[in-house]
Amino acid sequence: MVTARAFKAIVAVLALLTLGSGCRAVTGRSAGQYIDDKAITATVKTKLVAEKASNLTRVGVNTVNGTVYLTGTVDTPQEATRAAQIASEVNGVRSVVNNTQVTTPAASPTLTPQRLYTYPEGTYELKGAGTASSPYYWVWTPRVAGTAPPAPPALPPSR
């Protein structure tokens, strides 16, 4: 009975030693370093989200052996620099690799509104440029003189 219990204890200790050394062999960092890296990552993310001057919530953070890797997109080069600065100020950070990409906002497509609405009684034609100085408006052209127009279509949004 005592030998079986001792054998189980020895197997358990060997298993823990094997798993503990296996983690370091696979990732190249100890459990303590892994925990430290996760704490650094959490702190950097918290500080990026708290940054009021710019929107740094789209920046991904990963830490390996004290090196912080920043990924994702930012709107300006200044935001990329600020994200790296914030990361470098966190305690325990050895270096920062800034792989963020600066994106330019896509121009919204200009939609051309439907210019003619044809009814059996006549046609509504859209006029104007849709700007403040030349707003859109409808012109009714009846097929037969004196025909009352139906309700006009909704005006498209101005530009």
**What would the DSSP string read from start to end of 39-101?**
HHHHHHHHHHHH-SSS--TTEEEEEETTEEEEEEEESSHHHHHHHHHHHHTSTT--EEEE--E
Q: Place 93 in a pLDDT band, splitting at 50, 70 and 90.
A: very high
pLDDT digits (tens, 9 = 90+) for 13-29: 666 655 555 455 456 77
Structural domain count, the chain:
2
- So what's the pLDDT on residue 106? 60
Q: Are residues 68 and 92 in the same domain?
A: yes
In a domain? residue 21: no
Residues 6+ apart with CB under 8 A from 133: none
Q: Partners of 34 in the beta sheet?
A: none
In a domain? residue 96: yes
Q: Is the pLDDT of residue 105 over 80?
A: no
pTM of the full structure: 0.52
In a domain? residue 98: yes
Q: Is the pLDDT of residue 128 over 70?
A: yes
Q: How far is 54 from 61, CA to CA, in rounded Å?
A: 17
CATH no. for residue 57? 3.30.1340
**If residue 14 lies in a helix (H) or strand (E), which one and from where to where?**
helix 2-27
In a domain? residue 66: yes
| DSSP code at position 133 | S
Q: Are residues 146 and 114 in the same domain?
A: yes
Q: Is the pLDDT of residue 11 over 80?
A: no
Q: Are residues 87 and 113 in the same domain?
A: no
- So what's the pLDDT on residue 20? 55
Boundary-marking domain end, from 102, 118, 135: 102
